[in-house]
C-alpha cells in the first residue's frame, strides 16, 4: 500500500551527512533538514575528530538533531565518542551485530541507526535481525573500499513491496537530480545525502544542500 496516497502532507525527513563546517550546518537548518551527520572514521574524506565533532554538535544543538557515524569502533572508542560528542543518534556503518547495538542503546539511552548495504533481496530479508536492536535502518549501496559516502546507489526496485519491520531511510548515491525518482520508487520516509551535495569529497556545497532539500519538499507537496 502507498502510505502516502492517503496522507499527501506526509513529510519526508532529510539527513545531510558528512558535515565538517558551521556553514554546512547552517545550510542544512535553513533548508529544513531534520538531521546532520558527523563522520568519525579516519579513512573517510568526511572524517572529523571527536573534538571537532563535539564543537559542531554544540553549534547545532537545539536547532537540528545530530547523528554521530561510527564504523566498527571498539567498546572503549564508542563510549568515548558518545560521551564527548553527546549526539542525538548514533549510526553504525560497519559489521556491528544486533547484540552490540542493543548494548550501546542500553548504556547510552540514545537512538540507534544501522546502515546496511543492499545487494539483493536476501540482504533485505536479513535486515529483520535488527528488530528490537536498531531504531532505524539505512539502506545504502553495498560497501566497497569505504562504507558509505561513495556516491553509488543500488537498485531501488529491490525495496518494492518489502515489508519494513523497522523504521528506515534511503541512502547511497542520492543527489538533487535523482532524489525525486528515488522517492517515487521507494516512498522512503527519510533520505540521507552526503557526496551528492558536494563539490569535492568532504566539501559540502550550500547551493546543492538547498537544491536537495527543495526537491524533497516539492515531492512531498506533489503528494
How do residues 51-98 score in pLDDT, each as one tens digit? 999 999 999 999 999 999 999 999 999 999 999 999 999 999 999 999
Mean pLDDT throughout 104-124?
94
Tell me, what's the pLDDT at 109? 96
Handedness of CA 212, 71, 135, 109 (dihedral sign): negative
The reported pLDDT for the residue numbered 149 is 57
**pLDDT value at residue 218:** 97
Task: Give residue 147's pLDDT.
Answer: 56
- Structural domain range at position 168: 13-222
Q: Domain tally for the chain?
A: 1
Query: pLDDT per residue over 120-157, tens digit each?
Result: 888 898 899 999 999 999 999 887 655 555 567 889 99
The pLDDT score that the predictor gives to residue 141 is: 86
Query: In the predicted model, what is the mean pLDDT of residues 153-170?
Result: 91
Is 141 a member of any domain? yes
- Is residue 8 assigned to a domain? no
Q: Is position 115 within any domain?
A: yes
- The CATH number of the domain holding residue 57 is 3.20.20.70
For the stretch 176-187, pLDDT in tens is 999 999 999 999
Look at residue 2 and tell me whether its pLDDT is greater than 90: no
- 7, pLDDT greater than 50: no
How far is residue 148's CA from residue 45's CA, in Å, rounded to a whole number? 11
Confidence (pLDDT) at 145: 53
Is 3 part of a structural domain of the chain? no
In this predicted structure, what is the pLDDT of residue 15? 98
Determine, yes or no, domain membership for 40: yes
Residue 11 has pLDDT above 60, yes or no: yes
pLDDT at 150: 59
**Residue 77 resides in a domain:** yes
Does any domain span residue 45? Answer: yes
**Is 216 within a domain?**
yes
pLDDT of residue 113: 98
The pTM score is: 0.92
pLDDT digits (tens, 9 = 90+) for 192-210: 999 999 999 999 999 999 9
Amino acid at each position: 500500500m502507498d502510505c502516502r496516497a492517503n496522507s499527501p502532507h506526509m513529510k519526508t525527513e532529510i539527513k545531510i551527512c558528512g558535515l565538517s563546517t558551521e556553514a554546512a550546518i547552517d545550510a542544512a537548518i535553513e533548508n529544513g533538514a531534520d538531521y546532520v551527520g558527523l563522520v568519525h572514521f579516519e579513512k573517510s574524506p568526511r572524517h572529523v575528530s571527536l573534538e571537532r565533532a563535539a564543537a559542531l554538535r554544540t553549534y547545532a544543538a537545539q536547532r537540528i538533531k545530530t547523528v554521530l557515524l561510527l564504523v566498527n569502533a571498539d567498546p572503549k572508542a564508542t563510549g568515548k565518542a558518545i560521551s564527548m560528542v553527546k549526539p542525538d543518534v548514533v549510526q553504525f556503518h560497519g559489521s556491528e551485530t544486533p547484540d552490540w547495538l542493543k548494548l550501546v542503546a542500553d548504556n547510552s539511552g540514545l537512538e540507534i541507526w544501522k546502515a546496511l548495504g543492499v545487494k539483493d533481496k536476501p540482504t533485505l530479508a536479513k535486515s529483520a535481525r535488527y528488530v528490537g536492536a536498531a531504531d532505524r535502518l539505512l539502506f545504502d549501496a553495498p560497501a566497497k573500499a569505504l562504507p558509505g559516502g561513495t556516491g553509488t546507489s543500488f537498485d531501488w526496485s529491490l525495496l518494492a513491496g518489502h515489508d519494513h519491520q523497522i523504521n528506515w531511510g534511503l541512502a547511497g548515491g542520492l543527489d538533487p537530480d535523482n532524489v525525486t525518482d528515488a522517492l517515487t520508487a521507494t516512498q522512503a520516509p527519510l533520505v540521507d545525502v552526503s557526496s551528492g551535495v558536494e563539490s569535492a569529497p568532504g566539501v559540502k556545497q550550500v547551493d546543492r544542500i538547498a537544491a536537495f532539500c527543495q526537491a524533497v519538499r516539492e515531492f512531498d507537496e506533489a503528494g
